[in-house]
A and B are shown apart, each in its own frame.
Chain A
Amino acid sequence: MNHPTMTRDDVVLESCESLHDGFFQMMHYLLRHRLFEGGWSPNLSREIMLRDPVAGVIPYDPIRDEVVLLEQFRGGMFAAGDKHPWSIEIVAGIIEKGESAEEMARRETLEECGCTVGRLEKVMEFYPSPGGCSELVTVFCGEVSSEGASGVHGVAEEGEDIRVFSISVDKAMAQIQSGAINNSIGVIGIQWLALNRDELRQRWT
C-alpha cells in the first residue's frame, strides 16, 4: 500500500490564530488527526508559515542543449550565515491572484531573463517544506532560445537585481554536485532536465 489513504476529512482544526501578518503570515494551528492504527492524536500545537503558490520554469534551449540560469541575493541564505548569499536558480515567482500558473511562467521568464517561452510543459508540483510551510511550487519546462540570454534584469522597485547567463545541462549538473546550485527548485528542475532531456530534444527539435 504505497498511496496515502487518509484525507482532509481525517483532520479536525480546533483553532487557528495569526501570530504575524506581514509579507509572510505566521499562523498557530491547534489540530488533531486520525492515527494509522485507529483513533485520534491528542490536540497538536503547530506553527505554520502561510505562503502563496509559486511557479518555476526551467528555461531550456533544446537546440543548444543549454539552460538559462539566474543569480540573485537571497535573504534566507544570508540569515543562515552563508558565506555566499547569492543563489543560482531557475526562473521562479509568486503566482498573482487571477493569473494561471502557465501565464505566470511565461511572464516571469520574460521579466527575469528576457526570454520568450515557446512550448511549455508542466513537470511536477511539490512543497519545498511541507512540515512548516504551505508554499506549493509548480515546475514547468519552457522552450527558449538561450542565444543572447545575458545581462542584468529584474524589477528595481521590488529590489530585484538578477544576473542572467546560460550554460550546458552537463555543466549545470556539475554545479549541483559541487553545491554551487543549492536551492530546491533549481536542483529539482535541473535534475529533471538531466533525466528527461533526450526525450525532450527528440520532441522539441
Chain B
Amino acid sequence: MDRDDVELLREEPLHEGFFRMVRLHLRHKLFAGGWTEPLDREVVLHGTVAAIIPYDPIRDSVVLIEQFRNGKFAAGDAQPWSVSIAAGMIEPGESAADMARRETLEETGCTIGRLEKALTFYSSPGGSSQHVTLYCGQVSAEAVGGLYGVAEEGEDIRAFEVSFTEVLQMVDGDLFDNAISIIGLQWLDRNRERLRRDWT
C-alpha cells in the first residue's frame, strides 16, 4: 500500500512552538480490503536529522560526544547526559551531506574526508515525523579532545576518541542509550573491515 491508500480528512493544529504538533484525522485502506473508520493520530512534526559516525580508519577509532539530553531528564533517568555520535537538524536549503560535515566540525572539531551514506530511518514513526539520514565520515581522531558546541544554542559538548575495540565493549555494556548511536555503531561493526580497506 502507498500514500494513495490514505485519505487525510483534516489536520488539526494542537501546538506551535519549537515543535509543531497536529492531530491527523484520516482513514486508510485495510489489508483485508475496504477502509478503516476515521482514525485520529497525534504527530509531532519534526525536521530531518543528519547523524555521522566519525571514523578514523587508520587509528581504528571513533569520535564520540557527551551532552545533556532533555528527553532523558524528562523520563526520570538518573544520568541525563548521553554519549553519542554527532547529529543535528538539517537547516532549510542545506543538503544532508553538507550538514553532516558542518555538524561534525561544530561538535567534534573534526574535518570529514570521505563521506558514505549508511542508512536512513524514522526514530519513532508512530508519533513523530523525525527522519534520520546516517553517514559514516572519515576523520583523523589524533587531536580530538575538548569542549565544543554553540554556546548561544545552549550546547555544551565534550568530544573524545575511543578505540573500536572499546566501542564494542561499550555497546555490550549498554553504555549507548540512543537510537542514532546504536544503529550507527552496529552498522560500523558490519562495515568496518571494508572501510579500513577502502579508506586507508
Contacts and interface: CB of A to CB of B under 8 A. Distances in A.
Interface string A118-151: 0000001111111111111000000000000000
B77 A8 contact: yes
B24 A78 contact: yes
Contact of B178 (A22, A42, A77, A126): A126
Interface of A is mostly: mixed
B20 to A, nearest CB: 10
Interface residues of A, number: 78
A124 B31 contact: no
Interface in A69-86: 71, 73-80, 82-86
Given A179-B119, A184-B123, A19 B44 contact: no
Most buried by B among A29, A77, A80, A192: A80
A75 B190 CA distance: 31
Q: Is the interface of B mostly helix, strand, loop or mixed?
A: mixed
Contacts of A83: 2-3
A122 B15 CA distance: 36
A35 B156 CA distance: 7
Contacts of A79: 22, 24, 43, 45, 129
Contacts of B79: 4, 6-8
B143 interface: no
A24 B31 contact: no
Interface string A84-98: 111100000000000
Contact of B37 (A35, A130, A159): A159
Given A24-B42, A125-B174, A188-B182, A8 B73 contact: yes
A104 interface: no
B64 A135 contact: no
B179 interface: yes
A152 interface: yes
Interface in B119-154: 119-132, 147, 154
Interface residues of B, number: 79
Given A42-B154, A47-B18, A152-B31, A75 B122 contact: no
Interface stretch (B52-60, B80-88, B94-102, B104-112): B80-88
A116 B122 CA distance: 28
A128 B78 CA distance: 18
B124 A128 contact: yes
Interface string B154-192: 101010101000100010001111110011001101100
A75 B81 contact: no
B122 A87 contact: yes
B174 A78 contact: no
Contact of B72 (A5, A127, A159, A187): A127
Given A78-B6, A163-B31, A126 B176 contact: yes
B128 A133 contact: yes
Interface string B11-30: 00011011101111010101
Interface of B: 1-3, 6, 8, 14-15, 17-19, 21-24, 26, 28, 30-32, 36-37, 39, 41-46, 64, 66, 68-75, 77-83, 119-132, 147, 154, 156, 158, 160, 162, 166, 170, 174-179, 182-183, 186-187, 189-190
13 contacts: A2-B64, A4-B82, A19-B17, A29-B74, A35-B156, A71-B31, A75-B43, A76-B44, A76-B130, A84-B2, A177-B119, A179-B119, A191-B187
